[in-house]
Copies of this chain bind each other. A is one copy, B any other.
């Protein structure tokens, strides 16, 4: 548990925080584990859209000058419309959802926090770092806590909690000063159960830009919250929190509904294809979204190993070695390499 002391330098206990949860996208780890694998690696370890929104030309001004309040307001208006946030909510841009995941736990002290898991590990890590009492629960009904955190759809298994259940969780905590945090990082293609249009006063919704639009490097995410909470988040971040290129690209992309619809169709087809390709070796998908698929199989460790030796990096999990998460290949050549490698395995398992 990390706390700052009330005198002197920050507590020495902080040093353990440098080692956070493992993540997809770490090809250095891949190369260390499979030093003889062929290059280039195919990175299927993330849930980032492999076909990014076109970056196009960016005016020099977005690099040169400080972003203006008007720039950020235009971005937030585009996000409000894209996410269907109600007029009584505010949409607050941040330099990546991770920044909000780090910031939210600092708004309270010593709460009981329940996280619906297993899920994206940064939530539990951030609440624990801020000194809260965190438990992971596997059902919402077990969440005996003041603050409940739900990733919806869930990462890695794609489990979706329906909107009425989420509203009930928020309502149950409203009288006691409790809060519901819903991380909708993967809801852009599956918005049916999003709380954005019906946000309760004691809920915060997080939306990620980079995954759906394939622009994770620009660092852009949003909180949707009622005005008091939105004001607190803005105050904590201070001015110019979001970079000029992120504001410009975010505004363009979030206003482009045709691109989103086309990407939704294309990624759904990719996901179906991936399920069909992996069925002979890993069985039916446990779940997922249009940007990643999750499989549980006793064959998972052998498949992870075979893919790794072939230079294909997928996501495994400490808590369950029979689980694998696959992102989508980026190109025909990546699909071909994956198909060949899986086919070899199907003929000669293990």
Q: Which A residues are within 8 Å of any B CB, using their own CB?
A: 2, 4-10, 12, 14-15, 17-18, 20, 23, 25-28, 43, 46, 48, 52, 55, 60-70, 95-96, 98-99, 101-102, 106-110, 122, 126, 129, 146, 177, 179, 202, 210, 214-219, 227-229, 231-232, 234-246, 249
Contact = CB atoms under 8 A, between A and B. Distances in A.
Given A15-B228, A64-B217, A6 B108 contact: yes
Nearest to A129: B235
B243 A27 contact: no
A12 B228 CA distance: 7
A238 B5 CA distance: 20
Given A9-B202, A17-B234, A243-B245, 6 more contacts: A4-B109, A18-B231, A20-B238, A65-B216, A66-B210, A218-B243
26 contacts: A14-B232, A15-B227, A17-B235, A26-B69, A28-B70, A52-B60, A55-B60, A55-B63, A61-B217, A62-B217, A63-B217, A64-B216, A65-B216, A66-B217, A67-B217, A95-B99, A96-B241, A99-B241, A101-B238, A102-B236, A122-B238, A122-B239, A126-B238, A217-B243, A217-B245, A219-B240
A219 B17 contact: no
A331 to B, nearest CB: 13
Contact of A231 (B15, B25, B65): B15
A214 B15 CA distance: 35
B215 A177 contact: no
Given A10-B107, A55-B60, A68-B28, A244 B231 contact: no
Given A20-B238, A217-B244, A246-B243, A229 B67 contact: no
Given A6-B108, A240-B96, A246-B243, A68 B26 contact: yes
Nearest to A220: B243
A46 B10 CA distance: 34
Given A102-B236, A109-B4, A238-B98, A228 B9 contact: yes
Contact of A52 (B14, B64, B126, B219): B64
A52 B63 contact: yes
B62 A10 contact: no
Contacts of A217: 61-67, 243-245
Nearest to A235: B17
A108 to B, nearest CB: 6
A67 B25 CA distance: 9
Contacts of A98: 238-241
B243 A14 contact: no
Contact of A107 (B4, B25, B237): B4
A110 B232 CA distance: 19
Contacts of A96: 240-241
A248 to B, nearest CB: 9
A6 B122 CA distance: 23
Nearest to A102: B238
B228 A10 contact: yes
A101 B98 CA distance: 19
A243 B243 CA distance: 8
Given A217-B245, A231-B17, A246-B243, A48 B65 contact: yes
